[in-house]
Structure 1
Amino acid sequence: MKMSYKVLIVEDERKIADAIQIYLQPYGYEVYVVEDFTCVETYFAEVNPHLVLLDVNLPYVDGFYLCRKIRESSAVPILFLSARNGDMEKIMGMDSGADDYMTKPFLLEVLHAKVKALLRRTYGELAHVNPSYLQIGELKLGIETLHLCYRDKEVQDLSKNEWKLLHLLMSKPEQVITREECLTALWDDQTFVDDNTLTVNVTRVRKKLRALGLTDVIETKRGIGYQFHSVLVGVAQ
């Protein structure tokens, strides 16, 4: 690994937490395990992890609640670990803002594969250049936060999917990104996703950009997908 990623484990079954920590550490991850479940949010802020492994059944509050709280301020990838394997639980997990969902028991090798995929999708090579933000011209998108800045203006209430969509489009300026690529980037499991949901997310992103004074940055390519115009945010062609 070219950089050391911090992984936070929020799991009250200590044997499972220890097994994951022992397995991941030799690969170069900095692995942190929550000890006190009365202050998970505080510990999350202290660690500032690149990825969270979050159990659903926890003392005091459940993982769905904690996921929503984290999403209020961070775009960090979250992978649910749960003994609940029903479709409704998985839907609740995704609706809470999670990126993926694994049911117990699971193979540590499969968990590691998902961890690598989430880190690659979220940070990619950008993490080796600047781990704090992705910048196109004068527009900055937080890599670990849900913040979007342009000149002296800032939007702090991006949703996870709005952030994912912007990250995808800004990572490939001037390229036409197909709707299929967008759907894959936003949802691992597209079984319950209506195609119109993508259109709604694009509309919301455009609204956030307009709040910063940016219009026509994302162009719809009818029947194909979308294109991010970097020239409109201060990048010369």
Structure 2
Amino acid sequence: MYHVMIVEDDKKIASLIQSHVERYGYEAYIVEDYSNIKSEFIKHNPHIVLMDINLPFYDGFYWCRDIRTISKAPIIFISARSSDMDQVMAIENGGDDYITKPFSYDVLIAKIKSALRRVYGEYSENNNSEVYEVKGLYLNINQNTLEFNGIKIELSKKEFLLIHSLLKKPNTIISRDELLEILWDDVDFVDDNTLSVNITRVRKRLEELGIRNAIETKRGQGYSITINWDI
């Protein structure tokens, strides 16, 4: 079943859209926290987003750009703003389509079906990204990138494996043996020194994002990552 995220602060319109979308077999979720739609997206991991432009805090163009940093899921704008410039802005900020209010629900469903078929159909590659988010730190699984406060960096394979393992169990000690096993492959020789070197590199990568002293060394045990970022 495809999941549809509805970003519309007019509760009546949002409810009507949800009702029509679910009538066609989709599961629809209406955003409630308009202060951080990116986190809502990560939490619910929808296949497609229906996005209004006029929203509390930031407009739909902003949130579209923000979602595009972590996902290529289709985004269809639905807005009362009908100027050509608004439609151009929607496309340039990462939107896939644009519908002007008032609109036909049949047209909306047709556009949803088309977007889903194009991105998730039999002959299409699913480009949606899996993302871990811990207190504003975003780890993009498919792109090996780390993002914090709008700054994004690319990680090496071993850096990614380490930060991924630590973030999955924040505030928990992960043993050196477990981390060595995670780093082990058939190409590169991995020993205790290799682990220490790569932990140092991960610390430096976090510092590039402004996060300091996040990875703690537990002598004789292993390492843990705290989520009370020291910035």
Aligned to 2:107: 110
Q: Which residue identity does 2:98 align to in structure 1? A: Y
Q: Which amino acid aligns with 1:46?
A: K
Q: 2:29 aligned with 1:26, yes or no?
A: no
Residue in 2 that maps onto 1:161: none
- The residue identity in structure 2 corresponding to 1:39 is N
Number of the residue aligned with 2:129: 145
CA–CA distance in 2 between the matches of 1:42 and 1:84?
Answer: 26
For residues 87-98 of structure 1, the aligned pairs below 5 Å read 87-98=84-95
Alignment check: 8 A CA contact 1:10 1:34 kept: yes
What's the C-alpha RMSD, in Å, of the aligned pairs? 2.0
Give the C-alpha shift of residue 24 in structure 1: 1.2
**Which deviations, in whole Å up to 9, do the C-alpha atoms of 1:168-196 show, x marking residues without a partner?**
xxxxxxxxxxxxxxxxxxxxxxxxxxxxx
Aligned with 2:90: secondary structure? Answer: helix
Structure 1: tracts of 5 or more residues without a match = 128-133, 135-141, 148-153, 158-237
Structure 1 segments (4+ residues) deviating >4 Å:
154-157
Percent of pairs identical after alignment? 49
- State the match for 2:175 in structure 1: none
Unaligned runs of 5+ in 2: 132-141, 146-231
- Higher RCO (CA-CA < 8 Å; seq separation 6+): 1
Residue 62 (structure 1) aligned with residue 59 (structure 2)? yes
Which residue identity does 2:25 align to in structure 1? G
The Cα shift of 1:156 comes to: 5.7
- Greater Cα offset, 45-54 or 33-42: 33-42
TM-score normalized by structure 2?
A: 0.55
What is the count of residue pairs matched by the alignment? 135
Which structure has the greater CA radius of gyration? 2
- Whole-angstrom distance in 2 between the partners of 1:65 and 1:146: 21
C-alpha distance in 2 between matches for 1:31 and 1:83:
21
* SS of match in other structure, 1:79: strand
Q: Deviations over 1:70-124 (max 9, x none)?
A: 0011000000011111111111000000000111000111100100000001111
Taking the aligned partners of 2:103 and 2:44, their CA distance within structure 1 comes to: 26
Amino acid at match of 1:145: S
Is the CA contact (8 Å cut-off) linking 1:84 and 1:103 kept in structure 2? yes
Question: How far apart in 2 are the matches of 1:50 and 1:156?
Answer: 21
Deviation for aligned residue 1:51: 0.1
